[in-house]
Amino acid sequence: MSDLGPTCALHPDRPSQGTCAHCGTFSCGSCLGWLGGRQICITCKDEGRVAIYGIPWEQRDQLGLFTAWARTAGMLYTQPVQFFRKVDPYGPIGGAVLFAAISGLWLALLYLTLVTVVGALLGLAIAFGGSNWDPSIAIVVAIVGVVYTIVPPLSLVLGGFIWGLVHHVVMLLAGGASKGLGATARVALFTSPIQLFQFVPCLNYVAWAWYLPVMGIGYTQVHEQSGGKSAAGILLPVLGCCFCYIGLYAFIFAVEGL
């Protein structure tokens, strides 16, 4: 018996092929399966102890990229708690990066349209004004167009990682964030359909008041931690920034007062 090494909890005559990622039980090959990127035992699966993950974005091969994006964003907008319950904390990060990049693509298209319209109007105004067309104007319009196309997807992706890292460190200090940095980053990246509103004039403050609580819901669900720890992760860095600004302004006033 003992020369078999650890044996399956359900089949003592079979050697263990690994442990369940949820309950840690030694299990044989036929008692272990994959669920949301984790090896889970048959007992945990049958008793429903583990969540079955799966958001529409993970079916993008069948649904198509844009349908999958729209369904995922729709679920995030309307039922954030259920949405993040279905986000796999151990899932691959690449899919979440692609998702955030497509969120930025809508803004890029909007900006590109605006730049094209403004450029065309400028061209018409110059043509009808009788002045000579200066090629440098076209170059400026083209540069603005390129920058506004690249910036939204890039900033949503980079922002997801920066937010995720900052929040993760603070949540770790608060005793949370048990599922790893990847889980935090995935939440931050999957809130990109709300974050994109912060680039729309007049809506930027509304976006803030919307995506920060949704991020909190996400962290609470994926890390299975208290709302307080999620709130600490999100609010303490904001408070820190406020103090930095106040300090900066105090410094400027002090210097100007000299």
| Residues of the shown chain interacting with Zn ion in the complex, contacts defined by CB under 5 A | 8, 10-11, 20, 22-23, 25, 28, 31, 41, 44
Whether the Cβ atoms of residue 103 and residue 198 lie closer than 8 Å to each other: no
* 24-44: burial string, b at 16+ Cβ within 10 Å, e else: ebbbbeebbeebbebebbbbb
Residue nearest to Zn ion (CB): 20
**CB-wise, 22 or 71, nearer to Zn ion?**
22
**Smallest distance, Zn ion to C-beta of residue 48, A:** 12
Shortest Å, Cβ 173 to Zn ion: 30
CB of 30 to Zn ion, least distance (A): 6
Nearer to Zn ion, 11 or 71 (CB): 11
* C-alpha–C-alpha distance, residues 180 and 178, integer Å: 6
User: At closest approach, how far in Å is the CB of 182 from Zn ion?
Assistant: 22
CB nearer to Zn ion: give 17 or 59. Answer: 17
Instruction: Pick the closer one to Zn ion by CB: 46 or 256.
Output: 46
Q: Smallest gap, in angstroms, from Cβ of residue 9 to Zn ion? A: 7
User: Which residues, including other chains, have CB under 8 Å from residue 8's CB and lie 6 or more apart?
Assistant: 14, 15, 16, 17, 26, 27, 28, 31
Pick 16 or 191: Cβ nearer Zn ion:
16
Q: Is 50 or 154 the residue whose CB approaches Zn ion more closely?
A: 50
Write down the least CB distance from residue 55 to Zn ion, Å.
23
DSSP conformation letters of 174-239: TT--TT-HHHHHHHHHHTHHHHGGGGSTTTHHHHHHHHHHHHHHHHHHHTT--HHHHHHHHHHHHH
Minimum distance, C-beta of residue 170 to Zn ion, in the bound complex (Å): 31
In whole angstroms, what separates CA 29 from the centre of its chain? Answer: 35
DSSP state string for 27-81: E-GGGEEEETTEEEEHHHHHTT-S-----GGGGHHHH-HHHHHHHHHHHHHH-HH
Q: How far is CA 42 from the centre of its chain?
A: 31
